[in-house]
Amino acid sequence: MSANLAPPADQIRSLAQAAAEVVASYYDTLAHRPVLGPVTSEKIRAALREPLPRDPADFAALLTVFEDVILRYSRHSGHPRFFGFIASPGTPVAAIGQMLAAALNTNVTSWRSAPAATEMEHLTMDWLKEMLGYPADAAGLYVSGGSMANFAGLAAARSAKCPEAVRQGVAAAGRRLRVYVSEEAHQSMRKAAGMLGMGEENVRSVATDARLRMDVADLDRVVAADLAAGHLPACVSASLGTTASGAVDPIGDIAAVARRHGLWLHVDAAYGAFAALAPSCRPFFEHIAEADSVALDPHKWLYLPIGCGCILYKDPAAARAAFSHDAEYLRVIGRQRDEAFPFWDYGPELSRPFRALDVWLMLKFAGTRLLGEAIEKNMACAKYLERLVEASDDFEMLAPVELSVFCFRYAPPGFTGDLDALNQRIMVDLQKEGGSFLSNARIKGRFALRGCVLNYRTTERDMEILLDDVRRAAAG
């Protein structure tokens, strides 16, 4: 089928049906594919390289390239034994949602630019706040992911602690603005501090306890020391599910320290936020409403496509103080109240895609009860692996399973060599073999085989196969 920039409806249907058949076939065969087949960058380049196209290509030929090259040489995060990183498997309904949003190609900058999309974003924000138990009058918006959500939360904290910083820079505070994170915190907090002019060196690492949670006594000590040294404590970031180990910091105790020292409390819940849908995890959210800002990623445990993060602010005025700017081309004319609402006053982006559609489709199509059951199942699989490891004589856990991240290593009886080197080799060989996929972490100085169960397809049998695959890689 040849190209036409404005095709008739029957041609659009043919294009969509052909693409839908590829998508359906992919989902049907996903579990039987390797997570990542053996490939090199040179091989992919050779398959794709060609001169700049001057003339139209047949759409069927393009789909063939997609299947033969893109699908074949992709790492499949939807595979039931893909445990690397914290990656959503995606869902068919969200894939269709992406097509619908792309058809509109709406730019969700404000109500006047995208009336329906803006109202849908407000609606789904209300749903997210209700899920977490966050104040109903809080503000929020979608961003590209957890890193940008953490950036936005820290920007609001900087503005709240040093109002002059937005226009005059952090030097206007006259003192170093300090940020406090645990040793296990995500790297995006340090990166955000650097980008915001606060300086990565002003991000202080707080010790962790035996369960890799922030040590509240050490936090209090570090803040007190900074005050005594003449610095300005600005923000403490607690983690609700760290990336490396899945640890959940004691938010209530951290909030008490934040109140005592006048700190902005940010909670990085990019990974763990939607554990709120699992009844077993509700105690983790008992004090979430005390946070001044919360980062969360629907594109993780809501099983949505990449590119959908979220930031919530308890005080909308604090976000506006950090991000509001005046420009004549942005001035809303002839609109009042809700119809004058601009997203650019609450976050760093101006151009924004229609992210709320995926969230709305997923929540309406599946419902929170089914999603909560899937999340409980993910956590049960991680706990099952923990029990298998503890019952074995050739594996050991390096961190307790809190949510669905697991960290362990192969440690055969009588082995006297370098366990870090052994497990690093196992991980690399495992990734090349393609039956199961793990990533890595360093837990208290030790190299860990790290995985995260974030897939509604994964079963306890997959956890058994994973350990068999690790043993096979070790023997190889």
Question: 85-131: per-residue pLDDT in tens?
Answer: 999 999 999 999 999 999 999 999 999 999 999 999 999 999 999 99
Question: Is residue 28, in this structure, part of any structural domain at all?
Answer: no
Q: What is the 3-state secondary structure (H, E, C) of the chain?
A: CCCCCCCCHHHHHHHHHHHHHHHHHHHHHHHHCCCCCCCCHHHHHHHHCCCCCCCCCCHHHHHHHHHHHHHCCCCCCCCCCECCCCCCCCCHHHHHHHHHHHHHCCCCCECCCCHHHHHHHHHHHHHHHHHHCCCCCCEEEEECCHHHHHHHHHHHHHHHHCCCHHHHCHHHHCCCEEEEEECCCCCHHHHHHHHCCCCHHHEEEECECCCCCECHHHHHHHHHHHHHCCCEEEEEEEEECCCCCCCECCHHHHHHHHHHHCCEEEEEECCCHHHHHCHHHHHHHCCHHHCCEEEECHHHHCCCCCCCEEEEECCHHHHHHHHCCCCHHHCCCCCCHHHHCEHHHCCCCCCCCCCHHHHHHHHHHHHHHHHHHHHHHHHHHHHHHHHHHHHCCCEEEEECCCCCEEEEEECCCCCCCCHHHHHHHHHHHHHHHCCCECEEEEECCEEEEEEECCCCCCCHHHHHHHHHHHHHHHHC
pLDDT for res 96: 96
**Amino acid making up residue 444:** K
Question: pTM for the full model?
Answer: 0.97
What is the number of other CB atoms lying within 10 angstroms of the CB of residue 123? 13
Mean pLDDT of 304-323: 97
What is the number of other CB atoms lying within 10 angstroms of the CB of residue 220? 17
Question: Is residue 291, in this structure, part of any structural domain at all?
Answer: yes
Judge contact between 123 and 165, C-beta under 8 A.
no
Question: Is residue 419, in this structure, part of any structural domain at all?
Answer: no
The confidence band for 270, taking pLDDT boundaries of 50, 70 and 90, is very high
What is the number of other CB atoms lying within 10 angstroms of the CB of residue 427? 23
Question: Is residue 161, in this structure, part of any structural domain at all?
Answer: yes
pLDDT for res 146: 98
pLDDT for res 265: 98
Is 331's pLDDT higher than 90? no
pLDDT for res 91: 96
Question: 146-174: per-residue pLDDT in tens?
Answer: 999 999 999 999 999 999 998 899 989 89
The confidence band for 338, taking pLDDT boundaries of 50, 70 and 90, is confident
Query: What average pLDDT does the structure give for the chain?
Result: 96
Spatial distance between the Cα atoms of 453 and 459, rounded to a whole number of angstroms: 10
In the chain, pLDDT over 90 holds for what percent of residues?
Answer: 94
Q: Say how many domains are in the chain.
A: 1
Question: Is residue 32, in this structure, part of any structural domain at all?
Answer: no
Spatial distance between the Cα atoms of 378 and 457, rounded to a whole number of angstroms: 9
pLDDT for res 97: 96
The confidence band for 180, taking pLDDT boundaries of 50, 70 and 90, is very high
Spatial distance between the Cα atoms of 246 and 142, rounded to a whole number of angstroms: 23
Question: Is residue 80, in this structure, part of any structural domain at all?
Answer: no
pLDDT for res 325: 86
pLDDT for res 328: 81
Q: Facing residues of 266 across strands?
A: 237, 293
Question: 385-421: per-residue pLDDT in tens?
Answer: 999 999 999 999 999 999 999 999 999 999 999 999 9
pLDDT for res 1: 55
- The closest of 308, 38, 342, 319 to 159, measured between CA atoms, is 319
In Å, what is the CA distance from 98 to each residue of 92, 94, 95, 126, 461? Answer: 10, 6, 5, 22, 32
In Å, what is the CA distance from 138 to each residue of 141, 200, 324, 347? Answer: 10, 29, 17, 14
Is 33's pLDDT higher than 70? yes
| Count of alpha carbons within 13 angstroms of residue 463, beta-carbon side | 25
Q: At which residue do the structure tokens 């995985």 appear?
A: 451
Is 319's pLDDT higher than 70? yes
Spatial distance between the Cα atoms of 186 and 196, rounded to a whole number of angstroms: 17
Q: Facing residues of 439 across strands?
A: 450
Is 138's pLDDT higher than 80? yes
The confidence band for 183, taking pLDDT boundaries of 50, 70 and 90, is very high
CA dihedral 323, 327, 333, 338 (to 10 degrees): -10
The range of the structural domain enclosing residue 171 comes to 102-363
Judge contact between 191 and 179, C-beta under 8 A.
no
**Amino acid making up residue 153:** G
Question: Is residue 85, in this structure, part of any structural domain at all?
Answer: no
Question: 437-466: per-residue pLDDT in tens?
Answer: 999 999 999 999 999 999 999 999 999 999
Mean pLDDT of 358-376: 98
CATH number for position 329: 3.40.640.10
Question: Is residue 350, in this structure, part of any structural domain at all?
Answer: yes
